Structure 1
Amino acid sequence: MNVRERRGSARGRILEAAGRRFYADGIASTGIDAITADAGVAKMSLYNNFASKAALVEAYVDARHEEWLGLYRARAALAASPAGLVLAVFDAYIDHAAAAHRQGFRGCGLLNAAAELGADAPARAAVRRHKEEVEGILAEALGGGAQADRAADLSEHLCFLLEGAMARAGLEGQDTRLVRARAIAADMLDRL
């Protein structure tokens, strides 16, 4: 389903409204009535498209994951080297931070969501899969084969750098920490 179709459908409008509200106000603070009002749909329309609020939250997490992958793929397409692919991960997070958010930049929407969810929530598992995929993208860019263990260690290290920077950027409401983390990563890669 393309963006134009999503925006026109009740499901798409609900998901977009939920995404704005969940990111700005949090999942627990966002009621179904606020989402349906923002989406311009009846409550029954929400339940015709999502079995529960938990299902809507999981769809939100999946949509955020796809949004990030799109940002990463656009940056990766411009990369001319393995180091460029690594930095494309940082650039995708910087691009996300630069995107307009109605209530301002609040950090990683996926981690914000995970913090509100129970340990066994399907959406929390989806957040974990996203973070593991990002780490896998980094490890793949850093190389496999005989260097697979080193690539895995370095990708984990870069993820710690990235997640720490994202947390601080979210607290500060701007991308400065992410830009700095990218520079640190670039310096690390130059030293390899």
Structure 2
Amino acid sequence: MSDTPTGRAARPARARILDAAARQFYAHGIAATGIDTITADAGVAKMSLYNNFSSKADLVSAYLDERHREWMSLYAKRCEDATTPSERIIAVFDAYADHAALAYDHGFRGCGLLNAAAELPVDDPGRDAVRRHKEEVESILRTELAALCEPRVADACSEHLSFLLEGAMSRAGLEGTPDRLGHARTLAESIVAAL
């Protein structure tokens, strides 16, 4: 789809609003991004936003769901060529790198889901959405590891790989470059090869 103003206008308002929110939330944070900024970026009237989302909280929830779907799609794409459990484990790291390689208007800032969770109150449903995503990623690792080693080892190793992945993503976000994800991938390959 064209990203020109004409191409944007041809897309449904909901999609344009969600895309604008994703750009703005990722670049500036949820709290710092107002509805007026999102509607201006999307090229829609404020009423159009409220016709599609009941509140900013509803828009944040949709944004988090879309980030999850986006990552799952990248992982599924990586798995098309992965034929072994080891390859599917490394595909998790590759999908994170693919997510990091997306074009960001204002630079790479790390995991958009973790960035959002850091801004949300402890009891906010958005934090649960982020937690569920991270648990699903760890579950994918555990499932693939279970084909390579006994369950107890798979449980421990999936947590270890999850920590490795999240730590690399955090450092990558701080450094503004996804290089740490490549380092984490290399470490994961050596861990998996040793099983």
TM-score range, shorter-chain basis?
over 0.9
1:93 is the counterpart of 2:96: yes
Q: State how 1:13-162 maps to structure 2 within 5 Å.
A: 13-143=16-146, 147-162=150-165
State the 1:145 CA deviation.
Answer: 10
1:72-104 Cα offsets, whole Å, 9 max, x none, are 001111112111010000000011111110001
User: In 2, Cα distance between the equivalents of 1:93 and 1:143?
Assistant: 21
Asked whether the equivalents of residues 17 and 38 of structure 2 are also in contact (C-alpha less than 8 Å), the reply is yes
* CA RMSD, Structure 1 to Structure 2 (Å): 1.7
Q: Which runs of 5+ in 2 are unaligned?
A: 1-6
Asked whether the equivalents of residues 85 and 147 of structure 2 are also in contact (C-alpha less than 8 Å), the reply is no
User: In 1, Cα distance between the equivalents of 2:49 and 2:127?
Assistant: 21
Aligned identity (percent) is 62
Deviation beyond 4 Å, 4+ runs, structure 1: none
Please state whether the residue corresponding to 1:8 is helix, strand or coil. coil
User: Residues 85 and 27 of structure 1: is their aligned pair in 2 closer, same or farther, counting only changes over 3 Å?
Assistant: same
State the 1:144 CA deviation.
Answer: 6.0
User: In 1, Cα distance between the equivalents of 2:52 and 2:113?
Assistant: 22
Q: TM-score, normalised by structure 1?
A: 0.94
**Letter matched to residue 86 of structure 1:** I
Q: State how 1:161-180 maps to structure 2 within 5 Å.
A: 161-180=164-183
Q: Which runs of 5+ in 1 are unaligned?
A: none
1:144-192 Cα offsets, whole Å, 9 max, x none, are 6982222111100000000000000011111110000000000111111
